[in-house]
Amino acid sequence: MNRGGGSFADDAEKRLAPLFEGHGIDARILAVAPGDLDRHCGEAAKEAGVDALVAAGGDGTIGTAAAAVAGTEMPLGILPMGTLNHFARDAGIPLDLDEAVAVVAGGKTRQVDVAEVNGRVFINNSAVGLYPRLVRDRELQQHYLKRSKKLAMVVAASRTLWRFSHRRLTLRIEGREAPVETPLLFVGNNRYQMGLLNLGTRDAIDRGELCLYAPLARSARQFLSISLRAVFGKEDEQDDFLTLDGVTAAEIDARKPRLMVATDGEAQMMDTPLRYRIRAGALKLLVPPRPEDGRGTMRSMVEG
């Protein structure tokens, strides 16, 4: 678990240990500094005698753990302890900790997708433009002003819209090239919903596709208008949005040699062109049994 996570509590280890013990699991629980999370996940994934890597935290922590085991036979368990827990929700993982530990104990696995940009794995989405700037602003406020994540996000969003700008990008997909001017290019690991009742959720995380969205706005007012129309299902897809579904790989180029890119809510600089690809079924995820799987835990463990 990430000791620097927004929802981390000093008694987290004491709370989790008896939950695992109650399900007969010998769990080694490590609360590590954010900068050491990648190393510890990598070491745990290769350690002899380990049956599963379990990540306790938000999407950033889950994404780091997923990167360590993607493409291997090591299953990943999730304990949703973040602010939003997008990936856990889309995967059907219960938000109650005892129930989430029970999912790990059940041993049922399913192959799901991860995506990557320039070799960096992400489980939810990546973005170029306004959102990475918003994320970096929020991170600086949290670090230097000690603001809460929610307050910092509100302030950052207001400032980002005030300093509105759009980018000229070039998309290359399956040998075809097209220019696009947009304030925000969003790349999702599988298709995201835009409607009011299911905003920001996915019907599936195992369809083996990237989905690209880009609002065609030239001003902050136009951007807000397009966004609201999309939320209420009244957008004109031809005039308002560039939407591409069913993509397995894409290259995004820009005039600048480096761009600020957000992946799963974390911002970093990356060299252009940005090379995205889907890794279909690369992650072996511990999940609740489906109704057709029957009720027996032992059967789930054997079949998983």
pLDDT at 124: 97
Residue 190 lies in a domain: yes
Partners of 266 in beta bridges: 263
Q: Does residue 73 sit in the same domain as residue 136?
A: no
Contact 205, 283 (CB under 8 A): no
CA angle 20, 24, 28 (to 5 degrees): 50
The answer to whether position 7 is within a domain reads: no
Query: What is residue 297's predicted lDDT score, i.e. its pLDDT?
Result: 42
Residues in Cβ contact with 99 at an 8 Å cutoff, skipping those fewer than 6 apart? none
Q: Are residues 147 and 275 in the same domain?
A: yes
3-state secondary structure at position 85? coil
Structure tokens at 231: 């939320």
Q: 127 and 104 in one domain?
A: no
What's the CATH number where 101 sits?
A: 3.40.50.10330
- Answer yes or no: do 86 and 146 share one domain: no
Contact 170, 253 (CB under 8 A): yes
**What is the residue-wise DSSP string for 151-170?**
HHHHHHHHHHHHT---EEEE
Task: With respect to residue 18, please indicate whether it lies within any of the assigned structural domains.
Answer: yes
Q: Do 203 and 245 share a structural domain?
A: yes
Distance (Å, whole) CA 257 – CA 255:
7
Angstrom distance (rounded) from CA 197 to CA 180: 29
Q: Based on the domain organization, do 174 and 34 belong to the same domain? A: no
Which residue range forms the structural domain that includes residue 59?
Answer: 12-108+287-303
For residues 142 and 253, membership in a common domain is answered with yes
Q: Are residues 37 and 140 in the same domain?
A: no
Answer yes or no: are the C-beta atoms of 196 and 259 closer than 8 Å: no
**Alpha-carbon distance 127 to 176, whole Å?**
21
pLDDT (tens, 9 = 90+) of the chain, 304 residues, equals 988 665 556 677 788 999 999 999 999 999 888 889 999 999 998 988 899 999 999 999 999 999 999 999 999 999 999 888 999 999 999 999 999 999 999 999 999 999 999 999 999 999 999 999 999 999 899 889 989 888 998 998 899 888 888 889 999 999 999 999 999 999 999 999 876 566 789 999 999 999 999 998 888 888 888 788 777 766 555 568 888 999 999 999 999 999 999 999 899 999 999 999 999 999 999 999 977 655 444 333 333 3
Distance, CA of 52 to CA of 286 (rounded, Å)? 9
pLDDT for 295 equals 46
Closest of 293, 270, 285 to residue 126, by C-alpha? 270
Q: Which two tokens stand for residue 38?
A: 């990648």
Secondary structure of 15-84 in HEC code, one letter for each residue: HHHHHHHHCCCCCCCCCECHHHHHHHHHHHHHCCCCCCEEEEECHHHHHHHHHHHCCCCCCEEEEECCCC
For residue 185, what are the β-bridge partners? 128
CATH no. for residue 157? 2.60.200.40
Question: For the chain, what is the domain count?
Answer: 2
The reply to whether 188 and 225 lie within a common domain is yes
Q: Does a cis peptide bond (omega within 30 degrees of 0) precede residue 34?
A: no
| Structure tokens, 111 | 């192959």
